[in-house]
Amino acid sequence: MKTRRDFIKISALGIGATAVTVGAAKAVLGSSLFGNENASETETFRRVPTYCEVCFWKCAAWAHVTKEGKIQKIIGNDDDPQCNGRLCPRGTGGVGMFSDPDRLKTPLMRVIKDGKQTYREASWDEALGFIASKMKDIKAKHGSESMALFFHGSSGNHFSHLMKAYGTTNLAAPSFAQCRGPRDVGFDATFGESVSSPEVTDIRDTKCLVLIGSHIGENMHNGQVQEMSEAIDKGAVIITVDPRLSTAASKSKFWLPIKPSTDIALLLAWIHVLIYDELYNKEYVSNYAEGFDELKELVKLFTPEWAYGITTLKPDLIRNTAREIANAAPSVIIHPGRHAAWYGDDVQRTRAIAILNALLGSWGNRGGLFFKEGIKLPEFPHPDYPTPAWSWKELSNGKYPLANEAITNTVIEASIPSEGKEARIKGWIVSGTNLIASIPLKDELEKAMQSLELLVVVDTMPMEITGYADVVLPECTYLERYDDIRATAHREPTLCLRMPAVEPLNETKPAWWIAKQLGERLGLGAYYNYTEYSEVLDWQLKQVGSSLDEMKRIGVKKLERKTSPYITEGTTHTFKTASGKIQLYSHEFAEAGFDAMPVYTPHPEPEDGFYRLIYGRAPMHTFSRTANNPNLVALMPENSVWVNPQVAKIWGIKKNQYVWLKNQDGAVSMFPVKVRLTERIRWDSVYIVHGFGHHHKPLKFAYGRGVNDTELITKVMVDPIMGGTGMRGNFITFLTVDPGKESES
Amino acid sequence: MRYAMAIDTRKCVGCSDCVVACQTENNVPIGFCRDWVTETVDGTYPNVSIELRSERCNHCDNSPCVRCCPTGASHIEDGGIVLVTPHKCIGCGACIQACPYEARYSHPDGYVDKCTFCIHRVRKGEDPACVAVCPTKCMYFGDLEDPNSEIVNVLKNRKFKALAPEAGTKPQIFYLT
């Protein structure tokens, strides 16, 4: 197929032959007088403050650097409440993000050579000059609003600033519509604010933690994992609702192996028991909530017996757990979860979770959800951003009225021309997100990328998305750069510094530098009134009584709270909703034409011979971004498909056999995946860890290892409230013979 | 002095942070490890339970690896820590065969390597790297002869087991159950 943008494999070009020598250092045996001890005994390290970028938790840490400039290890900062001196395996293995030999090394530009599209190395000046002239061109022809940014992580801040200065607010993060968006909108509609990140869950002091769609311990959200362990020590009851015996489920007093897609029925039955057995927190509800009578009427018939037929959970189990939950109230957390884009009614499911928390009186009480407090750093002075003529909101044509962040999928759709109509979006910058693995709508994504006038990808690694770019910009890793101060709102306000531990390798550059250089070439120099980013940080820190020098010494600064994290006796709390009260019944939803209270709707079921595809996390990987990290690949090189032995028997599938997966629409996995026979999963579902099955050969350690769940998610159930892409309605079957797909890639 | 470790299986989530921390602390070459995580599953759906364990050299009191070493490279340090002196090791691998826990591996540089309880850290009064990094704080390291140590306290108050006691090696890693 001839396309505007042939997918180019960077490896095929012999580019970037400069080997990374750091990190390959041989073990130094030093003074091994006593035995097999090692370098670090005699070594003295330079300690450089940073915060981790391997996931969004952003734990503060010290990079330990040897005299030769090798990053030997990364250790958590004791003063950081987000990690308490203990990083997770990914943070500890963060050295591999730096030492990965497959990193991008120089800017690359798409050119035609002998009639074939290919990349050639370019200087920064040439690459940036090209992008700036294209962006000027797009602005002149279509308006600045027709540029969009897709982003994830700290680098996104720098490109967001650039795009706003340029004149567009089409800034879309997959973390909204593909992940936490439904949860944030659901909690916002109920309590007037979201649960934030890191979440305001008071797990360490809880008496009862209910996990429904959250697998703490496999999702390695560090502070939560640490607190769950503390709660276990203190004897807290854990109740886990999961079709799979997750790690957390294995530590629970109650495991509810629910039939997937029926969570709302269970939540409504729990609400029913709390209300009709009068177990709810009457005082809290009458003080702080609105719409109780409507809720009581709604759940009248939603008994545990009703839910049994839907969820396959026995009525006694539903009643007993409801009582257990009520006994612990208000020191109880019905966990809001994080990745919530499942079935297209996800805002409503999260509303049901929020409503349960409200009935128990958990928000504002110790051991429930607390009120966060943070510190806002003033922005470094710059001219006002121009007001764009239109924004991402216009792209939805009146759909998804309660989205409060840009929706990736609508930005992608708006990049595709339709009969006689030009696309509204003409150019993308993609920073730190491998859309090929994070966006489930593969065909739309492909069409959009083929229609763009400009596609720039900024990344540290040759992820699949780089193969579609006109220009690839190699960013240095978090260990080689300054970034914005992490200003966290949580139990206490904290500030945290990231600074370069070592110089950037090869021709890589920090995102702040890339954005500034582009800005200056676009005539936006007034927005970049500094030479080094350290000047920005120092100025900001000085506004709040610290300084860059101080932060370089301590890495993390904790500030005192001015308000109480809990409702104190004798005072009342005003929630941030329009009325100041918790919305059990949502007038906002009713006015927008949605159910004012959550209701259960059945979702499609797998046909004979098909199994629901459930995906999740492993503690040693973050999405697809760590799949090539040498340290972490060593821990988990590939994913496997979890299959119940009874199911395997029907198919004659053996333990550790490799199979291909085919979904309900005929999509077949590119690579085979190892079968893990396990009693830990239901008969009607299979489970895989997200982030594997990379097909880009330059990712030497990740290539061809395991299966990419995203390629099997061809059916998406979009949440009408905010545009979230529900991805759990896909069903797979097994192919034991090679379908010969790999040769196509 | 008798160093030992107790690991709480109720808290361990099997994240393998102990494995990475050991690697970066001790320059363990990628592809090898001095500690690792195992999972055992019991029962059938839906009555299933699992146990996650971080495993390593058991620094046995009655250590077959030391007894079988022809050069004396494998030896016992103060506090019962079993070590290998690389320059005395000829890489014959007898100890690898003798260990019932498969705790030793051949280092690419030609000697046998294994967990040292991070003796270089312990001498400075620090915990081994795996213990210090564990997000769940499921590991306790200390001196069994110190009645005030945390490890003595948890072993007094909790049920525990050791691995392969039938091998008669007197292992010093205890799993709280």
Residue contact B15–A255, C-beta within 8 A: no
The answer to whether the beta carbons of residues B19 and B32 sit under 8 Å apart is: no
Facing residue for A620 by CB, picked from B16, B25, B50: B16
Exposure string of A26-58, with b = 16+ CB inside 10 Å and e = fewer, is ebbeeebebbbbbbbbebebeebbbbbbbbbbb
Which whole number is the average pLDDT over B38-43? 95
Confidence of residue A12 (pLDDT cuts 50, 70, 90): very low
From chain A, pick out residues whose CB is under 8 angstroms from the CB of B75. Answer: 35
> What pLDDT is stored for residue A5 in this prediction?
66
User: Per the omega criterion (within 30 degrees of 0), is the bond before A330 cis?
Assistant: yes
User: A584 lies in which domain range?
Assistant: 197-371+566-591
Which of A461, A459, A490 shows the shortest CA–CA distance to A221? Answer: A490
- What CATH number did the domain enclosing A630 receive? 2.40.40.20
3-class DSSP state of A110? strand
Q: Per DSSP, what are the bridge partners of residue B53?
A: B38
pLDDT tens digits, one per residue of A129-151: 999 999 999 999 999 999 999 99
> Would you say residue A2 has pLDDT above 80?
no
Residue A556 lies in a domain: no
Confirm or reject contact between A229 and chain B (CB < 8 A). Answer: yes
What are the pLDDT digits (tens) for A663-714? 999 999 999 999 999 999 999 999 999 999 999 999 999 999 999 999 999 9
On whether both A518 and A432 belong to a single domain, the answer is yes
Whether residues A38 and B43 touch (CB distance < 8 A) is answered with no
Instruction: Return the residue of A nearest to B126 by Cα.
Output: A41
Label residue A226 by pLDDT band (50, 70, 90).
very high
Output the pLDDT for position A9: 65
Distance CA B32, CA B107 (A): 8
The answer to whether A632 contacts B138, with C-beta atoms less than 8 Å apart, is no
Number of alpha helices (DSSP H) and beta strands (DSSP E) in chain B: 6, 10
Whether A654 and A729 map to the same domain: the answer is yes
Please report which confidence band the pLDDT of residue A3 belongs to, taking 50, 70 and 90 as the band edges: low
The percent of residues in chain A predicted with pLDDT above 70, rounded, is: 94
Chain A residues in contact with B85 by the CB 8 A cut-off are: 32, 34-36
Kindly report, residue by residue over A504-524, the tens digit of the pLDDT: 999 999 999 999 999 999 999
Compute CA B40 distance to the chain's CA centroid, rounded to the nearest angstrom.
18
Of B10, B13, B133, the CB nearest to A87: B133
CB contact under 8 A, B135 and A29: no
Contacts of A224 (CB under 8 A, 6+ apart): A198, A199, A201, A203, A216
CB contact under 8 A, B45 and A682: yes
pLDDT-based confidence at A419, cuts 50/70/90? confident
Strands of B160-161's sheet in order across:
B139-143, B3-8, B173-176, B160-161
- Average pLDDT, integer, range A477-499: 98
Contact yes or no for A26 and B109 at CB 8 A: yes
Residue of A250, A312, A633, A687 to mutate, interface with B, max B Cβ within 10 Å: A250
What tokens were used for B13? 């989530």
> What's the pLDDT score for residue A8?
72
Q: Would you say residue A53 lies in a domain?
A: no
Per-residue confidence at A441, pLDDT binned at 50, 70, 90? confident
Does residue A31 sit at the B interface (CB-CB below 8 Å)?
Answer: no
Please say if the pLDDT value at position A168 is more than 60. Answer: yes
Instruction: Enumerate the β-bridge partners of residue B112.
Output: B106
Please indicate, yes or no, whether residues A305 and A201 belong to a single structural domain of this protein. yes
Pairing of strands A582-583, A289-290: parallel
A232 contacts B15? CB cut-off 8 A: no
The pLDDT mean for chain A works out to 94
pLDDT for A24 beyond 70: no
Tell me whether A677 touches chain B (CB under 8 Å).
Answer: no
What is the per-residue pLDDT for A29? 34
- From the list A111, A108, A113, the residue with the least C-alpha distance to A127 is A108
Contact: A74, B46; criterion CB under 8 Å: no
pLDDT at residue A740, rounded to an integer:
85
What are the φ/ψ torsions at residue A605 (nearest 5 degrees)?
Answer: -110, 155
Average pLDDT, whole number, for chain B?
Answer: 96
To the nearest whole Å, the CA of B140 is away from the closest chain A CA by: 14
Q: How confident is the model at residue A15 (pLDDT cuts 50, 70, 90)?
A: very low
List, for residues B77-102, the tens digit of each pLDDT value.
Answer: 999 999 999 999 999 999 999 999 99
Domain spans in chain B, listed from the N-terminal domain onward: 3-176
Residue A21: pLDDT band with limits 50, 70, 90? very low
Counted domains in chain A: 3
A152/A201 same-domain check: no
Mean pLDDT of B25-46: 95
CB contact under 8 A, A40 and B27: yes
What CA–CA distances, in Å, run from B95 to B64, B80, B82, B101, B167? 7, 17, 12, 11, 15
Question: Residue A17 — pLDDT band, cuts 50, 70, 90?
Answer: very low
Q: What is the DSSP letter of A504?
A: P
If we measure between CA atoms, which residue out of A603, A588, A599, A689 comes closest to residue A344?
A603
**Closest Cα in chain A to B75:** A35
Best mutation target among B3, B16, B18 (most A Cβ atoms within 10 Å) is B16
A250 part of a folded domain: yes
* A690 falls within a domain: yes
Residues A535, A662 share a domain? no
Number of CB pairs, chain A paired with chain B, less than 8 A apart: 162
Compute the average pLDDT of residues A531-543: 98
Q: Decide if pLDDT at A27 tops 50.
A: no
The C-alpha atoms of residue A119 and residue A109 are separated, in whole angstroms, by 5
Average pLDDT of the segment spanning A235-262: 98
Structure tokens at B141: 């390291």
pLDDT at residue A35 in the model: 53
Question: Quick check: A24 contacting B, CB < 8 Å?
Answer: no
Nearest CB to B83; choose among A27, A34, A678 = A34
A260 at the B interface (CB within 8 A)? Answer: no
A517–chain B Cβ distance below 8 A for any pair: no
Q: B52 contacts in A (CB within 8 Å)? A: 247, 250
DSSP A505: P
Report which residue type is found at A579: S
Mean pLDDT, residues A189-193 taken together: 98
> Does residue A352 lie within any of the structural domains?
yes
Residues from chain B contacting residue A220 (CB–CB below 8 Å): 15, 135
Contacts of A245 in chain B (CB under 8 A): 45-46, 48, 50
Q: Which of B129, B24, B122 is nearest to A65 (CA)?
A: B24
The rounded percent of chain B whose pLDDT value lies above 90 is 100
Taking CA–CA distances from B31, the nearest residue in chain A reads: A634
pLDDT computed for residue A6 by the predictor: 75
- What confidence tens digit (pLDDT) does each residue in A723-744 have? 999 999 999 999 999 998 765 4
Contact call for A251 and B41, based on CB within 8 A: no
Contact A88 B75 (CB under 8 A): no
What is the pLDDT averaged over residues A235-255?
98
CA gap A687, A709 in Å, rounded: 10
Interface of A with B in 39-68 (CB under 8 A): 39-41
Q: Which of residues 442-471 of A touch B (CB under 8 A)?
A: none
Asked if A521 and A422 sit in the same domain, the reply is: yes
Residue A248 is assigned to a structural domain of this protein: yes
- CB contact under 8 Å between A225 and B136, yes or no, is yes
Whether residue A133 lies inside any domain: the answer is yes
B133–A92: do the CB atoms touch at under 8 Å? yes
Same domain, A347 and A238: yes
Q: Does A75 touch chain B (CB under 8 A)?
A: yes
Read off the CATH number of the domain in which A122 is found.
Answer: 3.40.50.740
Same domain, A738 and A668: yes
Cβ count near A78 (within 10 Å): 13
Smallest CA-to-CA distance from B53 within B170, B166, B167, B160 is with: B160
Query: Is A35 in contact with B49 (Cβ distance < 8 A)?
Result: no
For domain B3-176, which CATH number applies: 1.20.120.330, 3.40.50.10090, 3.90.1310.10, 3.30.70.20? 3.30.70.20
Nearest CA in chain A to B73: A35
Q: Are residues A624 and A582 in the same domain?
A: no
Q: How far apart are CA A647 and CA B15, in angstroms?
A: 28
Closest Cα to residue A433, out of A447, A450, A445? A445
Question: What are residue B51's DSSP bridge partners?
Answer: B40
Flag whether residue A14 sits within 8 Å of chain B, measured between CB atoms: no
Decide if A557 is inside a domain.
Answer: no
List CB contacts (< 8 A) between B21 and chain A. 73, 92
